[in-house]
Amino acid sequence: MSAGLCKIDAIHAILTELNTIRQELRQFCRTAPIAIGSLPSLATYYLPSKMKGLRFLNRPMTLMIQNTSEDLIQSLQEGRLDAVFVDSLYVGEALWSCKLFTESYYAVFPLHHRYRSRKKVKLAENFVKSHLSSSSPL
């Protein structure tokens, strides 16, 4: 057998193997779950009811919980997660993001507190220092 025919046979074997790998990757992409990352607060209270039985691109979804937005962004950038739900402070320009919702937070005081009649309280540095420090009584 000539050297040229040996090379053609080798190339044919390589192309056949590449085609098999390509088919396996396509199958994996169809069946591998989409990995979503979330902070514990969303993962515990908000996402379970939204994600139950949810499929995207005919693929199941899994939820990975991490404690910080920074950790979630790192996992996304390293390819361990496909998408993450994080605080907007951690979204950089190198990532695409979309605002999902705004969460309301409340300042809560005892009924006898001096702010009980106020409709608004500003979270300013002097408020935090004078009213929420451990040495100042409410």
pLDDT at residue 119, rounded to an integer: 79
* Structure tokens belonging to residue 7: 């090379």
Record the pTM: 0.56
> What pLDDT band is residue 136 in, cutting at 50, 70 and 90?
very low
Q: How far, rounded to the nearest angstrom, does the alpha carbon of residue 123 sit from its chain's CA centroid? A: 28
Task: Quote the Cα angle for 122-40-51, to 5°.
Answer: 115
Average pLDDT score over residue span 27-49: 79
Listing DSSP states for 29-52 in one string gives: HHHSPEEEEE-HHHHHHTHHHHHT
DSSP H or E run through 7: helix 3-31
Task: Note whether 130 and 122 are within 8 A (CB).
Answer: no
pLDDT tens per residue across span 69-122: 999 999 999 999 999 989 888 787 888 888 887 877 777 888 888 777 877 777
DSSP H or E run through 60: strand 59-65
Is the model's pLDDT at 129 over the cut of 60?
A: no
